[in-house]
Structure 1
Amino acid sequence: MIVKLSPQDTRRYNWYIWRFVIACFSFVVIMLLLTAFGIFGQLPSFRDLENPKSNLASQVISSDKQILGTYFVQNRTNVTYKEISPYVINALVATEDARFYDHSGIDFNRTFSIIFYNLIGKKQGGSTITQQLALNLFSERAHNPFKRIIQKLQEWITAVKIERHYTKEEVITMYLNTVDFGAYNVFGIKSAALTYFNTTPDKLTPDQAALLVGMVNGPGIYSPINHPDNAIKRRNLVLRRMGEVGYLSDGQVEEFKQKPLGLSFHPINHNEGSAPYFRAILKREVQRILVDKSIFKEGDIPYDLDRDGLKIYTTIDATMQRYAEEAQKEYMRNLQAQFNNHWKGRSLWKGINNFQLLLKQGMQRSDRYKALKLAGKSDEEIKEDFNTPAKMTLFTWKGDIDTTMKPIDSIVYHKMMLRNAMMSMDPTTGYIKAWVGGTNFEHFKYDQVRMGTRQVGSTAKPFTYAVAVDAGFSPCMEVANVPVTITGYGEPWTPRSTGTIPGVLTLRKALANSQNYITAYVMNEVKPQPVVDLIKKMGVNSPDIGPYPSICLGTFNASVFDMTGAYSAFANHGVWTEPTFLLRIEDKNGNVLYDHHATVRQALNEQTAYVMTYMLKGVVDEGTGWRLRSKYKLTNPIGGKTGTTQSNSDGWFIGITPQLVTGVWTGCEDRDIHFRSTNLGEGANTALPIFALYMQKVYANQALGIKKNVDFDPPKSGVSITLDCKSYHQQQQPDSTGVEDRLEF
């Protein structure tokens, strides 16, 4: 039955409808006004719009402009509009906001149509790109319906403000720099392109762009890793919309729909990237500088290295760093096999001093032990846990392996793993070019370049010889290679010696072959204090360096960092330049926050430094470093010194060339675990080969500018110390009275 309304009833119902519409409109206006005045929460200010908050990863940049790695809470790095493929921009506009270039932040036509679709059960999002940007920058999506309504009003107002202050290009760039691309801590188009396709945003193809843009509304459900079928369907929908808007032809749409996902998936974490040990040290150094130098943001707010997008410029050369890491991996794999074979079939408990104590200490230092202690477990319960097989991942030089073994056995396994560290620097500038702090940062995080100190052994001998050369001793001076006892410094001290060459040797040959007796003789002549003074002038700051005779044989501890820096003075005309790895720090806008200025000092005179390069070349030409020539065919001018500590606990080699000084150390975590034979445990076998492999790679790449056939420059004023031993011996012949000038020892 149809009821016919009178004109009076019609007017009355129309009035009700209009009252409802006016009431709704007034409510919305009032709510907008209340929101605009901050009644429901403060809106972003103009300053906030100029400097939107976002967790921006800080970048570590090499000297050759490569990104070595990042520090981040969210893996996000900004790009400019020109660095984004137009396919990405077109895909985003076509899918998320087709009228993006026509509205001013809010698309009311779309908003009301979306309300209608939602009322009839077809859920669709109505936010423009600018509104989504407002949400990304200034808030997190609320789950409470009332709060979400308020938040939506805030987004509207903020979106209009954003459109007033930024161009469309800037808006879309900011959006693509902030959007979430999945559960792998990937934020922003640059990180997404690298993570999913191992490329840069400007090189993304239409199908790649469609896949990434398709993830925007549901990075979980449209993940190409976890839900590849969903990802393909969503990608094809984006491609279809690009075709509908006219960004792609029908043929192109069909062509790209047929393509596979084509992923080159590479999730990024803090261990990823080159030089992880270096980056860990650098992070602490940058944080210290920002505090010590009182470098703050506006309002004395401290910088957050994980959120503020700093750019940290370093001296590391990405190519040389890669060569250093490759050289270490190549040789340490072989050396570990030697070590394992050396101990195969032998009892570790009988063959290694205090092995039971070492295991106990290793257990107590482990994360597992600490967690069990915090859980209130007794010593017996902890012991039982360590003797109960469990699943774990072990490091090997062939790659990580998943296995099941007793935790106590895993400690034995890791105790028997050799460690290694290496640093390479330019002796003139002090710039560190490569830094390898350990064998695997994921498993062994302790840095052995700067944080770790080990006994330096015979690498300390050149300091004593340098003091002697400075006093006028010639490398050609001859000394009988017999035991020497030094008194006057507590108990009389007589060094032990292995591999002693009988007879009378020149100082150059004695250093080349690392002869302890002659080194002790030289120490007795020059006395300990001048040697201590020189070591400290050359930047070695170990607290256990004191005026006692045995320092000539390297009984003190020092870091690879300090020892490599010290040798750089020999190669740099006696000038010690502080080893430098940080050049400057900039904020996200390119403003310089910190510039590093290295300390430089004349550690020894130029003539002494030059004579020492001649002495150190003798190590390679005729001494313990000979395999650089014989096995590795490095025939160019190279000096260096091997070092082997007591019981072969530490192996060292520090090599010098006019343009590069490189220090290498190898040993186990505990000094009681080592090779039992000097033939295997000496620095010539454990450290020198890594230097050799590294230098082979460096010399092969001429673009690095490290010239192979350049020798050390003599002082411009000449050299008064005789280096030609034939001439030296003629000068030392007996005079007419028959009294011999040459000293006999």
Structure 2
Amino acid sequence: MTLNKELIKTWAKRLTYAFLVLATILACFYGSIYFGFWGEIPSSKKLSDLKQSQATQVLDTHKDLIGKFYIYDRQSISYNDFPQHLIDALIATEDTRFYEHNGIDNTSLLRVFFKTILLSDQSSGGGSTITLQLAKNLYGRKDYGYLSIVVNKLKEGIVARRIENIYSKKEILTLYLNTVPFSDNTYGIESASVKFFNTKTKQLDLSQAATLIGTLKANNGYNPRLYPEKSQQRRDLVINLMKNQEFITEKQAADAIKSDIELDYQYYAPNQGLAPYFRAEIKKQLDSILQQKKYKNPDGESYNIFHDGLKVYTTLDNNMQRYAEEAMQDHMANLQLQFEKAYGQNAPWLKNKPAYLAAKKRLTKYRALKKQNLSDQAIEDSLNKTHDTKLFSWEASSIEQMSTLDSLEYYSKFLNTGLLSLDPSNGDIKAYVGGIDYRYFQYDHVSQSKRQVGSTFKPIVYTAALENGMDPCSYFSIKEVTYTDVDNWTPKNASSDEDENLHYSLKYALSRSVNTISVKVIQETGVNNVIEQAKAMGINSKIEEVPSIALGTSNLSLIELARAYTSYVNQSVSSKPVFITRIEDKNGNVIATYEDLNPTNSKEKAFSDDTRQFMLEFLQETVNNGTASRLRSNYNLTNDIAGKTGTTQDNKDGWFVGIMPKLVTVVWVGNDNQQIGFSSTGIGQGANSALPIFAKYIQKLNSDPNYKNITQASFEAPSKKVAQAMDCDLSKEEGFFKQLFGNDKKEKSFEKKKKKGFFSWLKKDNDSI
């Protein structure tokens, strides 16, 4: 008996000792975590000033979201923006005793220990609280090997207790819902609401709120976009939990469960969604703006567009942008079919054709292999290795096995486009389409590309002529003239069946885009005067001092051409395009104002009021009876519209500029490989390749009553003086001039010394229209 007592005593001491040792080890282990030996734990001071990464929002002119820049797609809102059923769904699903514990729910932990661990009952739930989840959301988890789960859980417990000591329950819910990850790499309830349902959080209904809360258990597994059936089952479970805990009535639960989940998914990935080219340009501008010393955050550091939750207010109109993109897609899909069918088996983009071979040598991979001094065969073999390639198509994208050379041939056939719509009164950009699909073609044809502008340059020539004293009723013969001092250059008209005895007025010649007369007009006006006129209208690109610019041989960007044309409906003043009107920080404090971002443009007139009225009459004639008349005949547009078509040599570029009293729109269509043009003028002329995009775009605006102020606006009536000055016949026969002058009107050759051979490429017919 004594022996048993001694044995018990000995074991009691040993167990006590072991317990003390274990307790000491655990205490030391916990202490090592608490004091930061396993990584810093945020102090109460840091927790009281939480700074979470937030997405920068890009907003349109109506303050609607266009897109975001982010690493984590997150934007914060206040507690008052949460509907009660959202809070109830969260509590019912994630933490039923949220209002009772201090960050760690001991009751739940005991339940987990006995039911989940000892009894293996997986239905008993977890022991995590909303506050513990918040701690994990804020600081993430690190890898500590086999001790990871223990270390991370203890760290989260410490942080959770500190959070509970600092913040109220409402504040904790606000922090949680603004930081918790939802499906599709979306962080925070506001971002998730907009992405999945295109609505603000405060407007979520019961079904929508339950759907989003349901995804928190498994972001990917319950993603309503990818797995709608599983997501609906999870939503129903959340609703039933709310009913069981008496947050909602049985009827409310039944009504919500009856409904299907109806997504209105919004893409805000950089390469997807509305206005991707515009967003890319906004990012470039922000990168430049926010590096300036005057734009610093309160800590004196540069703002970070991926983290700082800025709000960028722009001039774009989401609806107009959508209409422009739809019009572009509708026309370009059909035009691509025409383009490929017209070439058939003789297409210039096919392998071993000159355009293809030249493009192959421009490939980055080809040049890299060439630098390695590999043989031509070795380079060819490398470029012919196949791999998975995602292919663009107007019907449906696909992934196929293709080599680099196969891909080059495939993509070389695609036509591309650019469109820009401006409010001429202030330069505000209303629609911006930089290409057919940003995911596959990231080169921006509005701001980056420069192409020959064809006959869209002719109005500038005529404007300069009027400004330099030419009578608007001047007549010119359509006869061809050979300019012996310019390599015997003979400009030709697109049509060869016109009566050479005719003389056209300026109005008629411009509206029919007569090449021979445009050159004669620049001859009398002077090339330098035309270049100066172009500069006054906002064109900054270098323009060669050669007479061929009358036919649009200069390379200009679409955006500067649009700026030049705004002067025709803005009191003769060109409007510089405006992208951004204001930048705010996440708290609504203004970082940069309109005046900061858009210094006042010169209000100096580019030409006189009389010239403006003359040109508007000329350009309206182009639409009513000239090269753009299909706007009336084919598309039945009755709006007040002036405009100009343009086509460059060998049908490489098609242009259309549409001028309305309150909207100027420029459209370009062509192939990125400038060796590849349209097979014929019939398909490639601006009236066929570019004009239809404008026409379909305006049709959509016409059908939307919100844009009556644009679509129903009227041009100014010409003054009496201007009307009288234009009171003349559009054309005259040569006999009239014989009677008037006694002999044929002589044509002068343009006197300008240039290097021999510069114009040799212009000996072919120039099809500018």
In the alignment, structure 1 residue 670 sits paired with structure 2 residue 666? no
Aligned to 2:569: 571
Quick check: 699-708 or 533-542, which moved more? 699-708
Aligned to 2:334: 334
- Write the letter of the residue equivalent to 1:80: S
Aligned to 1:460: 457
Quick check: 642-651 or 100-109, which moved more? 100-109
Change (3 A) 1:361 1:520: closer
CA distance in 1, matches of 2:231, 2:722: 77
Aligned to 1:497: 493
- Write the letter of the residue equivalent to 1:277: Y
- Write the letter of the residue equivalent to 2:190: K
For 1:313-348, what per-residue CA distance to the aligned partner results, in whole angstroms no more than 9, with x for missing partners? 11111111111111111212222222122112x423
Aligned to 1:723: 725
Change (3 A) 1:682 1:577: same
Q: Secondary structure at the match of 1:445?
A: coil
CA distance in 2, matches of 1:164, 1:367: 58
Alpha-carbon distance, 1:96 to partner? 2.1
CA distance in 2, matches of 1:134, 1:221: 23
Alpha-carbon distance, 1:171 to partner? 1.7
Alpha-carbon distance, 1:91 to partner? 2.0
Alpha-carbon distance, 1:114 to partner? 4.5
For 1:525-562, what per-residue CA distance to the aligned partner results, in whole angstroms no more than 9, with x for missing partners? 2211121112122222223x032222222111011111
Aligned to 2:664: 661
Change (3 A) 1:274 1:614: same
Contact kept? 1:540, 1:563, Cα under 8 Å? yes
Q: Secondary structure at the match of 1:652?
A: strand
Aligned to 2:325: 325
Contact kept? 1:465, 1:522, Cα under 8 Å? yes
- Write the letter of the residue equivalent to 2:424: P
CA distance in 2, matches of 1:655, 1:192: 40
Change (3 A) 1:585 1:700: same
Q: Secondary structure at the match of 1:297?
A: coil
- Write the letter of the residue equivalent to 1:459: T
Alpha-carbon distance, 1:82 to partner? 3.6
Change (3 A) 1:35 1:84: same
Once the two structures are superposed, the pairs formed by residues 30-41 of structure 1 within 5 Å of their partners are 38=36, 40-41=38-39
1:60 to 58, 61, 68: 58
In the alignment, structure 1 residue 397 sits paired with structure 2 residue 394? yes
Contact kept? 1:68, 1:274, Cα under 8 Å? yes
For 1:90-139, what per-residue CA distance to the aligned partner results, in whole angstroms no more than 9, with x for missing partners? 12212322222233434445445545556636586433212221221134
Aligned to 2:528: 529
CA distance in 2, matches of 1:239, 1:693: 46
RMSD (Å), alpha carbons: 4.0
2:413 to 413, 416, 419: 416
Alpha-carbon distance, 1:156 to partner? 3.6
- Count residues in correspondence: 727
CA distance in 2, matches of 1:281, 1:577: 19
Once the two structures are superposed, the pairs formed by residues 106-505 of structure 1 within 5 Å of their partners are 106-111=104-109, 114=112, 120=118, 125-144=126-145, 146=147, 148-182=149-183, 184-196=184-196, 200-220=200-220, 222-223=222-223, 235=235, 237-249=237-249, 269-293=269-293, 295-344=295-344, 346-348=345-347, 356-364=353-361, 379-384=376-381, 386-387=383-384, 392-403=389-400, 407-484=404-481, 494-499=490-495, 501=498, 502=500, 503-505=502-504
Q: Secondary structure at the match of 1:725?
A: coil
CA distance in 2, matches of 1:384, 1:63: 52
For 1:682-732, what per-residue CA distance to the aligned partner results, in whole angstroms no more than 9, with x for missing partners? 11111111111111221222212434443333689x756843324999xxx
Change (3 A) 1:472 1:728: farther
Q: Gaps (5+ residues) in structure 2?
A: 748-769
CA distance in 2, matches of 1:133, 1:341: 59
CA distance in 2, matches of 1:322, 1:703: 14
Aligned to 1:652: 655
In the alignment, structure 1 residue 710 sits paired with structure 2 residue 707? no
CA distance in 2, matches of 1:672, 1:573: 40
1:584 to 568, 572, 582: 582
Residue identity (%): 36
For 1:351-378, what per-residue CA distance to the aligned partner results, in whole angstroms no more than 9, with x for missing partners? x899634323434555776898899986
For 1:554-613, what per-residue CA distance to the aligned partner results, in whole angstroms no more than 9, with x for missing partners? 111011111011100111111112111222222222222223225423222333222211
CA distance in 2, matches of 1:28, 1:211: 41
In the alignment, structure 1 residue 517 sits paired with structure 2 residue 516? yes
- Write the letter of the residue equivalent to 2:493: S
Change (3 A) 1:367 1:112: farther
Contact kept? 2:314, 2:580, Cα under 8 Å? yes
Contact kept? 1:656, 1:662, Cα under 8 Å? yes
CA distance in 2, matches of 1:223, 1:614: 58
- Write the letter of the residue equivalent to 1:680: I
Q: Secondary structure at the match of 1:162?
A: helix
Q: Gaps (5+ residues) in structure 1?
A: none
- Write the letter of the residue equivalent to 1:56: Q
CA distance in 2, matches of 1:591, 1:479: 61
Alpha-carbon distance, 1:524 to partner? 1.6
For 1:266-314, what per-residue CA distance to the aligned partner results, in whole angstroms no more than 9, with x for missing partners? 7753222211111112211211211245533354443332333222211
Alpha-carbon distance, 1:45 to partner? 5.2
Change (3 A) 1:728 1:149: closer
Change (3 A) 1:518 1:440: same
Contact kept? 2:270, 2:280, Cα under 8 Å? no
- Write the letter of the residue equivalent to 2:636: K
Contact kept? 1:215, 1:231, Cα under 8 Å? yes
- Write the letter of the residue equivalent to 1:465: Y
1:683 to 683, 686, 692: 686
- Write the letter of the residue equivalent to 1:93: I
Change (3 A) 1:220 1:459: closer
Change (3 A) 1:74 1:465: same
Aligned to 1:692: 695
Aligned to 2:625: 622
Change (3 A) 1:492 1:265: closer
For 1:22-70, what per-residue CA distance to the aligned partner results, in whole angstroms no more than 9, with x for missing partners? 984x877777776666555444356743553434222221112221222
Change (3 A) 1:519 1:316: same
Alpha-carbon distance, 1:507 to partner? 0.8
Alpha-carbon distance, 1:485 to partner? 5.7
Contact kept? 1:652, 1:686, Cα under 8 Å? yes
Alpha-carbon distance, 1:511 to partner? 0.8
Contact kept? 1:53, 1:138, Cα under 8 Å? no
- Write the letter of the residue equivalent to 1:510: A
Quick check: 556-565 or 511-520, which moved more? 511-520
Change (3 A) 1:377 1:295: farther
CA distance in 2, matches of 1:415, 1:711: 43
Alpha-carbon distance, 1:379 to partner? 4.5
CA distance in 2, matches of 1:229, 1:703: 38
Contact kept? 1:508, 1:618, Cα under 8 Å? yes
TM-score under structure 2 length normalisation: 0.83
- Write the letter of the residue equivalent to 1:593: I
Contact kept? 2:511, 2:618, Cα under 8 Å? yes
Quick check: 478-487 or 117-126, which moved more? 117-126
Q: Secondary structure at the match of 1:546?
A: coil
- Write the letter of the residue equivalent to 1:628: L
